[in-house]
Every structure is written in C-alpha cells, then in structure tokens.
Structure 1
Amino acid sequence: MADIILTINAGSSSVKFSAQRIAEGKLTPLALGQIDGIGSEATFTATKSGGEKAHFALDQSRHAIDHALALTAVLDWLEGENLDGRVVGVGHRIVHGGPVFAEPVRLDAAVLRQLRAFVPLAPLHQPFNLAGVEAAIQAFPDAAQVACFDTAFHRKHPFIADTFALPRKYYDEGVRRYGFHGLSYEFITRILRHEEPVLARGKVIVAHLGNGASLCAIKSGKSVASTMGFTALDGVPMGTRCGQLDPGVVLYLMGEKKMSADEITDLLYKNSGLKGMSGISNDMRELEASTEPSARDAIDYFVSRVRREIGGLSAVLGGLDCIVLTGGIGENAQKIRHAILKDMEWFGVEIDEEANARNQRVISAKGSPTVALILKTDEERMIAAHTAELLGLKQPLEARAPTEKSGSRPA
C-alpha cells in the first residue's frame, strides 16, 4: 500500500483538496477537487490524474455539511476510487502565520493556540483554515498535520517593505505588511529555479491574478516586496475585495455613513473590487463578455492598477528581468494580459501577440529585454511538497500536477 499526502485548503464555504502519492522520492498527483456550498447546498467536484471527473451533490437529509463532514466525503470518495494508499500526512493552507512562522511547521496543540491568536489578522480566512485542521485531525489521527503559510514566503522582507508609517510600537505588536499568496509565489519560484535558472537568479515580478490578486517582487529567489499588506485587502483590486484604499474612506464610512465595523468589513471584502465596481460580477470572464460600460470601467481599473504595481515593484528591484503571470486570470485571460503588457517597450517588455493569443509559455517577443512568461501555479502541490519534506522526504517539483487549468480562487 502506497503512502498518500492529502492537502486541505479550507475556506468559509468550500474545502479544496488534492491527493498525491509518495513513490521513489517523488510526488505523483492522483486527484484534486473541492466541495462547495458548505453550510448550504454542498456539491463535490473532483478530477483524477487520468482525467476522470466526478460531480455530485452531497446528502444533507440528516445533517448540514460542515468541514468535518466535508472531509469525510473526501475520504469516502478517495476510498471508493481505489487509490490504494494510506494518508501519512495532511498539509493545510493557513492564510496567516503572523510574525512568528516563516516556514511550514508540524501542527500540535501549542502551534494551534498561536494560530488562533492570529484570527483577528485574517478573520475571514483563519477560522475556516483551522476548522479544516480540526476536522483532519479527527479524520486522520495517525497522520502528520502540517501548516503551510501564505505569509511565510514574505517573512524576510527588509524592514521598510514590512512597516507602515505608524509609531513603532504598532509594528512591534504585529501591525505590519505580511503579504499573501506566498505558496503560489514559492511554487513559481521553484519552477523557475528548475526551468529558468538564469532568470531565477535575477529580478522577477510574479503577478498572481485571480479572484484574489497580488504581485510580488522577487530578487534571487527571495521575496523583497508584495502589494498585499496587513490583510488580504491591499494592493490591486480583486474579485470582491477593494485593493488599495485611502484609510480616510474608512473613517468617512464610519463617521458620516455611521457604518459598523462588520458592515465595512462586508463592503470591503465581499462587495467591492470587480463585483462592486461593475455591479455585475466578480468573474473576469463575465465582465469581458458584458457590453455594460461599468464592466469596461472595472476591467480598465484592474489593468491600470496592475500596471502601476509593476512599475512600483520594478523600482524596488532596481530593474526587471522577468515577469510571470499566473492565477486564473493570468493563465487564461489573454486580452487582460495584452492590456497589462502592451506599450511597455520603454520598460523592456515586448509582447508577442500571437504567442499571447495562444496561451504559450513565453509571450514576450524574441529579443525582448524582459522575458514574459505564463506559468501555471499549483498551491496544492507546494503544500504537498512541504508536507513531504517535513516527513523527511526530499523530492523535486519537476513533475507537474494533473488535470485542469487553474481557475480564480480566493487569497
């Protein structure tokens, strides 16, 4: 019987998972999927490495589906698919590691206590991440439970990239720029190191563009700046999140509109961004298909902010050798990529229109001073790799993961 590593990415209403076999020091992808609609009408979707798909509604006649029952459904499906293995490790995406965790760590009671203390830093993500951990401990009591942090990749920023212009005591208390999407950035960095070692040693910007979106400046494989800050609200506009916002707007909403903290949280996290600006949708595909002026305005603003952040991060890096586009929008939306990179020859980016239209790996023109790449990110595979490493298994990421192109997903 083979050993299997399961990865869990638990959100407020969904659980994403992957199953990967450990064989001969390598990870072999077996399946990935997700359960949506936790707490309401839950549906299960999965794809095996051979391309076979599963999609069905979960039985809620006796109990509403919570995270524990969602994991039970995942386990039942894996057993039913005869994947022939036992789960020896479960890797969890934990959004916030605070100022404490700069690398993956095995979970125990003490670590869980620390992670619960970071709930106020990520109130819409951390509680559900931890609910997934608790459910996995019940489902797999003999397996190693490993926390992999979205903030960890950014933890070695210089002070000026981490601080706000507030009294120093707030920084010391943990009010600082953490950055997110670190698992995606780390995966892309590892793939670059393997496939493009010269570029990997240079100055790189990775744009993780999806329902959650951010950009990261990477020098010699290390994160030096990110567009996200204290929370996953900052930076470029996202599907439902506002991105960069003058804090005076929040004061205005509180003072003049008499909005509560909960109402403002709901506005900025769930009803802003592309959804709020367009009044139509948070899905870039729907906005591109729409003829409404508000849809075009939302797209134009998104593109403008991404271009602006590319310029700012390039200044931090002191130049630019490579830009990587990833995430659901970065990997699939050729018109958005074109809008972001067009007319940037002065910046060293010369786009190859045909290569971009075909979603080819290299979309910069031959001889372009700055190389532009489309790379598929795989946070689940990065989590699995970390989990395997903490179990004492050194394994490469060269074998790319299965199934479909990634879609938009939250931060």
Structure 2
Amino acid sequence: MTAETILVVNAGSSSIKFQLFEVGARDQLKRRFKGQIEGIGAHPHLIAKNPEGELLVDETWPGAEVNTVPAALDKVIGFLRPQIGGKLPAVVGHRVVHGGPDYSAPTVVSELVVDRLSRFVPLAPLHQPNNLAPIKAILQRQPQVLQVACFDTAFHRGHPEVADRFAIPDAFYAEGVRRYGFHGLSYEYIARQLREVAPEIAGGRVVIAHLGSGASMCALSSGRSVESTMGFTALDGLPMGTRPGQLDAGVVLYLMSEKGMSAKEIERLLYNDCGLKGLSGISNDVRELQASDDPRAKLALDYFTYRIALFTGMLAAAMGGIDGFVFTAGIGENAPAIREAVAQRLTWLGLELSSKANAKGELKISRKRSLVACYVIPTDEELMIAEHALDALRSHAAGAEEKRA
C-alpha cells in the first residue's frame, strides 16, 4: 500500500518551488524530495533532488510549451505521479502571503476562499496572484484534491489592537487597512524550534530576524508574536533586496505630484528597484555587495545592519526587554559578517558575540556571559505548511466520517 503524501507548493511569477512529504507511522512526516520548475515562459527547467542531494530529474522544454503556471504544474505532477505509485497527493499545501482580515489560520480551499483571497492582490502584488495561480489550476483540473492555504500573516493575528492600528480614521481599519506582519510561517517554525534547542529563552522575550531577499523581524513573547516590522504590505520595515522598507508616505506623494508618476510606476519602483539594489546601484544580492569594493555597496550593507539594530530596539520596547535574538533565512543563516555587524550594534543591550562560534555558524553564537542569548536557527516554512496540511487532512477525514455515521 502506497503511503499518503503531502505536496507543498510555493509559486512565484516564473517558478514553482515544491516539496513532497510522506506520512509515516503516527503521522510523522518524512521529506521525500524537493525541487522547482523555473523559467516559466522563457527557459522552463525542472529539477528535483532527494534529501541526500541525489538528482531525480533535470529536464528542460521550449518556452512556448511551458508558458503558464498551470502548464508548469502539469510538468511537476507528471514527474510526481510515478514517484508516488501513480496516485495524486492526499493533500496540497500552499504558501499564500496575505490572508487579510478574513483568515487567521490555515484554511481548506474552495472557490469562495480563492475569490476572497484575490481581493488582497493589491496588498501583495508580487506574491498573491502567483500563490493563487496553482490553487486555481488544481481546483479546475482536480477539484477532488484537498488543498490548504497557509498564510504568512496568520501567526501575527493575535497582536494587540494598539500594535495593529495605523493612526488613520477608524473606517479604514474596519475595511482591513491595518498592520498584518508577514513571514509568519517562518516565525511559527522558529518559535517551535526554540522550545527544543533553546528552552531557556523559548518562554521569554525573543527578537527573530528573518533575513532574506524579503526581510522582516518579529517580537516573540512567550512564544507568541506581539509585534512585527512589516505592516499592511510586504514593503514596510527593513530594507530588502529590492524593496525600501520603512518609507515616509510623503515620498510617495512627492513622486506623484512632483514626478508625475502613476500608481503602477510607483508600485514597480518600490517593489523592484529600491532596497539594497537601489542604495547600491549594483545588486540586490548581499554576496555580490560583500565582494564589491564600491563604497555604495558598503553603504547598502551598513544601512541594512543599522536598520536591523534600530528595529531590534523597537521590538525590545514592545516586549519590555529582550532575552534572546535569532538569525534565520538565507542571509541570517549564511552571512557571518552581517550577523557580526548587527551584533556590534547591539552591544548596548548586553549581546556579546562569540566571533569563533559565529564564523563556524554554530547554533549558539553568543558568549556564555552575554546577557542576550544569540542563535542561528535554519527555518523550514515547507515543513510548517506540510504539518498544517496534514492537520487539515485529518480534520477533513474526521468530518467526512461523522457525516457517514
């Protein structure tokens, strides 16, 4: 008998990242493989590897043959089905960036749910439409397959109202114009990991820095999110690869009134041409900036670490202090120089870094005498999605059994 499997999908504008998990005894999840199909519409390329790094598939097609997300999804399913005994996955879990005010937990997908989630496309124009595309395709082609939407905003929905509000008329708040926070799947995973790897701070006051091409920070108190650097959209807070982070709203008004820029032009600027890319004029990739001797590259990196330190103070204030600091995601996990630069700016909080542990990328990188414990913990958003999808699968099955009874 073939084991149940869970497919996790994270779709972008020209790529679909996926992972397959097998459900074992006592619902233990085992990662079977992960891969992606990229270059959709241009140079489609499907690649997947097992956990040992062995190549399972490496295939390309003409751009015209795989020029849409549904067409790319067909190729992914075509690869998957022989791997799982010709069956379809028992459930598909999707990363969806914005759940808006309607969704505060993983949700089984229906046409109605998709319609509601489509309303939040303007709040996450780079992510939301691409996240929804494979959901729509599966609903149309395999409507019997259970699908679960897992939201990056959900983990932050327990914030106190004073943290969620903007100082604008109440009518806008009622419409959903509020601070949501993002990267919630990552923070949820780290919060759980802290109980295992750092129990001494897991129930305390912890700042988590999710540093990647998209970057944000979260204040975690007793394992719950109480504040975040991102707000209404994924533009707010820290500077990112191509996004500016915190920005005076007057800048947008200036671009409109003095530069004559349209809303679409401003959207394109803020999502694609700002951040590290805009500051440096060189690249949005931290590795390239670190390798450059251009003073603009140094400015971009200094600005990045300065802002991380600045927001750490804000998040610590929200919690009334700080017991721990965690680096995670691509930059946080793999850039010792960035971690060191941030730590140097946080010595006033009592954080003392161990240069040796940091250079090695050890789990704990602070000194024993440090008043703030500092960790590097790899995130695993896909596993978090798989676990939520499995919970939904079991609940769905229990509901169906009740109806039959």
Inter-partner Cα distance in structure 2 for 1:85 and 1:359? 41
The one-letter code matched in structure 1 to 2:379 is T
Residue 12 of structure 1: aligned partner: 13
After TM superposition, give the deviation of residue 81 of structure 1 in Å: 4.6
Matches within 5 A, 1:154-233: 154-233=156-235
Q: Distance in 2 between matches of 1:82 and 1:383?
A: 20
Q: Structure 1 length as normaliser, TM-score?
A: 0.92
Contact 2:309 2:345 in 1 (8 A): no
Helix, strand or coil: the match of 1:183?
A: helix
Point out the structure with the larger helix share: 2
- Could you say which residue in structure 1 is the equivalent of 2:251? 249
The DSSP-based 3-state class of the residue aligned with 2:243 is coil
Alpha-carbon distance in 1 for matches of 2:84, 2:152:
32
Q: Which residue of 1 aligns with 2:353?
A: 351
Structure 2 counterpart of 1:71, one-letter code: L
**1:72 paired residue number:** 74
Report the alpha carbon displacement of residue 221 of structure 1 after superposing the two structures with TM.
0.9
Deviations along 1:152-204, one digit per CA (max 9) or x if unpaired, are 00111011111111111111111110110001001111111233333211101
2:283 counterpart SS class: coil
Change (3 A) 1:334 1:55: farther
Distance 2:117 2:315 in 1: 30
Report the CA distance shift for 1:224/1:61 in structure 2 as closer, same or farther (over 3 A): closer
**Helix, strand or coil for the counterpart of 1:342?**
helix
* 2:300 matched residue in structure 1: 298
Name the aligned partner's letter for residue 127 of structure 1: P
What is the alpha-carbon distance in structure 2 between the residues aligned to residue 265 and residue 55 of structure 1? 37
Aligned length in residues: 393
Deviation digits for residues 236-255 of structure 1, max 9, x if unmatched? 10000010111111111001
Shift of 1:136: 3.0
Structure 1 pair 57/294, CA: closer, same or farther in 2 (3 Å)? Answer: farther
Contact 1:72/1:139 (8 A) holds in 2:
no
From the superposition, tell whether residues 85 and 348 of structure 1 become closer, same or farther in structure 2 (CA, over 3 Å). Answer: farther
> How far is the alpha carbon of 1:276 from its aligned partner?
1.0
Is the Cα–Cα contact under 8 Å of residues 44 and 63 in structure 2 kept in the other structure?
A: no
Following the alignment from structure 1 to structure 2, what is the Cα–Cα distance between the partners of residues 194 and 61?
46
1:8-407 mapped onto 2 (5 Å cutoff) = 8-24=9-25, 25-53=27-55, 56-60=58-62, 62-81=64-83, 86-138=88-140, 140-342=142-344, 344-392=346-394
Is the Cα–Cα contact under 8 Å of residues 30 and 83 in structure 1 kept in the other structure?
A: no
How big is each residue's C-alpha offset from its partner over 1:43-91, in whole Å with a ceiling of 9 and x where there is no partner? 2232211221356453126534311121122122224556786410000
Q: Is the 8 A contact 2:309 2:346 kept in 1?
A: no
Residues 157 and 224 in structure 1, CA contact (< 8 A), matched pair in contact too: yes
Residue identity in the other structure for 1:224:
V
SS in 2 for 1:368: coil
Cα-to-partner distance string for 1:232-279 (whole Å, 9 max, x where unaligned): 000010000010111111111001110111110010000100111111
Counterpart-to-counterpart distance in 1, 2:337 and 2:99? 36
Partner AA of 1:120 in structure 2:
P
Contact kept in structure 2, 1:2 and 1:84, CA below 8 Å: no
- 1:265 is aligned with what amino acid? E
1:397 aligns to what? none
* Whole-Å separation in 1 of the counterparts to 2:145 and 2:275: 40
Distance 2:361 2:260 in 1: 47
Shift of 1:343: 5.0
Gaps in structure 1 of 5+ consecutive residues: 394-411
Range 40-49 or range 218-227, more displaced: 40-49
Name 1:399's counterpart in structure 2.
none
